[in-house]
């Protein structure tokens, strides 16, 4: 049901334009120089345009995409730019061939579903929860989920390993609602 709702929402150009703006707003708000994001799968918002705009605005900005080294271990993030050659990795997802590991200051995370408390539903592989749990506290990135409003639920069932995101952006708003 959530996957269908996401596919339908993703087909609306106005939703995608609004999400592009919210992603750029989040990057400006947090003032980071390094961002990790994801290669889009069917129905996931494609953040590459927003990230390319952000990269072009400052030569010190750096972007990265996840690389699955092996199943069951935390993700690595490798440097990415719009002209970076890609290869097909685990789960048939494109990965950068740069080989240069980057530690992002802010991490955009895809959401199949989410609730207003910042919890997300992914595909069930646990990659992002495992990756965030393994990150040293001193280096933990700001985590920002990207979702469509149609995928918001009242409350997700939570498990002990689930980690809430700092912020979730949709075409219609932000969750949890920022205090500032």
**Annotated binding-site ranges for ATP:** 120-128
Q: How far apart are the first and last CA of the chain?
A: 34
Give per-residue burial for 131-166: e unless 16+ CB within 10 Å, then b. bbeebeeeeebbbbbbbbbbbbeeeeeeeeeebbbb
Do residues 75 and 54 touch, judged by C-beta distance below 8 A?
no
Strands 113-115 and 152-153: parallel
Cα(156)–Cα(98) distance, integer angstroms = 37
- Residue ranges of the binding site: 44, 120-128
- Residue ranges of the binding site for substrate: 44
């Amino acid at each position: 049901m959530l996957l269908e709702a996401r596919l339908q929402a993703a087909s609306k150009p106005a939703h995608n334009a609004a999400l592009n703006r919210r992603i750029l707003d989040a990057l400006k708000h947090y003032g980071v120089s390094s961002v990790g994001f994801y290669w889009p799968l069917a129905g996931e918002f494609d953040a590459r345009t927003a990230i390319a705009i952000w990269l072009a605005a400052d030569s010190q900005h750096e972007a990265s995409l996840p690389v699955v080294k092996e199943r069951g271990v935390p993700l690595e993030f490798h440097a990415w730019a719009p002209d970076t050659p890609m290869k097909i990795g685990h789960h048939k997802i494109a990965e950068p061939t740069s080989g240069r590991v980057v530690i992002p200051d802010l991490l955009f995370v895809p959401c199949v579903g989410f609730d207003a408390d910042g919890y997300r539903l992914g595909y069930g592989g646990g990659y992002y929860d495992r990756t965030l749990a393994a990150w040293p506290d001193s280096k933990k990135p700001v985590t920002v989920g990207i979702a469509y409003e149609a995928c918001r639920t009242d409350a997700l069932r939570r498990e002990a390993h689930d980690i809430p995101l700092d912020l979730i952006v949709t075409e219609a708003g932000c969750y949890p609602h920022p205090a500032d």
